[in-house]
């Protein structure tokens, strides 16, 4: 690890930045970049999501290549590795030989190395820069950035941008290490969230006020702002948090559940098309007694449906059945 960067920018030679992807994190970072006096160009697959950035003086563009044209730095804030790779291929015609690509999307360490190889093919410098924390710090410009780049000059070029969106940049030595560090950080976050959820629940089950757990943690060395902010909400089942802070008295951008993908049920689960077969050597249990929706059939007979002739001729009794007997080879 090379250490942290907290040195303020000199304010000279401000670059032009193209932000590709203006979702929750991308829009917040774009606004902070514009507020820092950096030239801003923006693109989003759904142009309507990028239009509000025009109020900051940003140029809202129709294609990734148009957004990258004339930009010194390209910042991607997209969904996943595949989307990032596809969008950067679309931006190829707008990239210049001096362009630096700042990749903030959370991907696997191997995925980040693949994107670095793509940057080499595109003839641009590459800075891996996954983000720690979420929307509120992004809006407040207090993100922590984990960064690495094989080009030393790229580190200096992106400093004004990283300082515009966060308060701390942790530089690591090799591409892939920032993504690895974020995976370790996320494991700690999940452990913390589970602890906040389980401990008050256990206290309530044992007849103790769950809020006392949060109060006790507050006076211990294990306290954190996350515990104090999320713990009471978990106890109150207050999970209706807007994706973006309210604007002009509104409720902010709420999650859209209409396009949430349906989870495929596990094999054998009710609603699954794949049924788990019974263990070998164990017969499937059969219900006892005859089915009540079928008529009684005397011994020596089998139950069949009506013949085609009967179906064509008489439709007054759809439940009519015929019985055939095999006594002496005759049918009736």
50 contacts 77 by C-beta, under 8 angstroms: no
> Would strands 166-171 and 3-5 be described as parallel, antiparallel, or unpaired?
antiparallel
29 contacts 75 by C-beta, under 8 angstroms: yes
Average pLDDT over residues 72-80: 97
Q: Compare 118 and 247 and report the one with higher pLDDT.
A: 118
Q: Which of 52-66, 238-252, 286-300 has the highest mean pLDDT?
A: 52-66
Residues of the chain above pLDDT 70, percent? 68
Q: Compare 279 and 213 and report the one with higher pLDDT.
A: 213
When pLDDT is cut at 50, 70 and 90, the band that residue 277 belongs to is low
The three-class DSSP label of residue 161 is helix
Q: Look up the pTM and report it.
A: 0.68
Q: Compare 74 and 315 and report the one with higher pLDDT.
A: 74
* Cross-strand bridge partners of residue 76: 20, 103
How high is the pLDDT of residue 190? Answer: 92
Q: Compare 328 and 165 and report the one with higher pLDDT.
A: 165
Q: What are the start-end ranges of the E strands in the chain? A: 3-5, 16-20, 39-43, 59-60, 73-76, 100-103, 125-128, 131-132, 143-147, 166-171, 301-304, 322-325
Cα gap 100→109, rounded to integer Å: 20
Please name the residues in contact with 311: beta carbons below 8 A apart, sequence gap of 6 or more.
none
Ordered structural domains, the chain, with CATH: 12-174 (3.40.50.720), 182-235 (no CATH)
* Cross-strand bridge partners of residue 75: 19, 102
Q: Is the pLDDT of residue 331 over 70?
A: no
Residue 67: name the closest of 92, 97, 49, 84 by CA.
Answer: 92
Cα gap 47→49, rounded to integer Å: 5
Lowest mean pLDDT across 42-51, 146-155, 223-232: 223-232
**How is the beta sheet containing 16-20 ordered, strand by strand?**
59-60, 39-43, 16-20, 73-76, 100-103, 125-128
């Amino acid at each position: 690890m090379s250490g942290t960067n907290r040195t303020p920018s000199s304010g000279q030679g401000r670059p032009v930045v193209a932000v590709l992807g203006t979702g929750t994190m991308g829009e917040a970072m774009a606004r902070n970049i514009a507020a820092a006096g950096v030239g801003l160009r923006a693109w989003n697959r759904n142009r309507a999501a990028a239009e509000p950035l025009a109020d900051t003086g940003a140029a809202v563009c129709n294609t990734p290549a148009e957004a990258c044209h004339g930009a010194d730095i390209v910042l991607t804030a997209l969904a996943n590795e595949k989307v990032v790779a596809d969008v950067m291929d679309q931006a190829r015609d707008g990239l210049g030989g001096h362009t630096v690509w700042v990749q903030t999307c959370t991907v696997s360490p191997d995925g980040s190395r693949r994107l670095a190889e793509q940057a080499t093919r595109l003839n641009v410098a590459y800075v891996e820069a996954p983000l720690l924390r979420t929307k509120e710090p992004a809006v407040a410009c207090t993100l922590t950035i984990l960064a690495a780049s094989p080009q030393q000059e790229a580190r200096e070029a992106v400093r004004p941008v990283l300082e515009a969106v966060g308060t701390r940049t942790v530089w690591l030595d090799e591409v892939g290490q920032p993504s690895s560090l974020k995976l370790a950080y996320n494991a700690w976050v999940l452990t913390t969230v589970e602890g906040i959820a389980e401990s008050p629940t256990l206290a309530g089950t044992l007849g103790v006020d769950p809020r006392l757990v949060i109060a006790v943690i507050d006076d211990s060395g294990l306290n954190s702002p996350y515990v104090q902010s999320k713990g009471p909400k978990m106890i109150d089942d207050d999970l209706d948090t807007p994706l973006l802070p309210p604007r002009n008295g509104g409720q902010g951008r709420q999650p859209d559940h209409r396009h949430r993908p349906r989870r495929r049920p596990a094999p054998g689960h009710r609603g699954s098309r794949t049924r788990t077969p019974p263990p070998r050597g164990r017969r499937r249990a059969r219900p006892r007694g005859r089915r009540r929706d079928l008529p009684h059939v005397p011994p020596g007979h089998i139950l069949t449906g009506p013949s085609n002739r009967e179906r064509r001729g008489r439709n007054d009794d759809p439940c009519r059945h015929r019985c055939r007997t095999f006594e002496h080879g005759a049918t009736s």
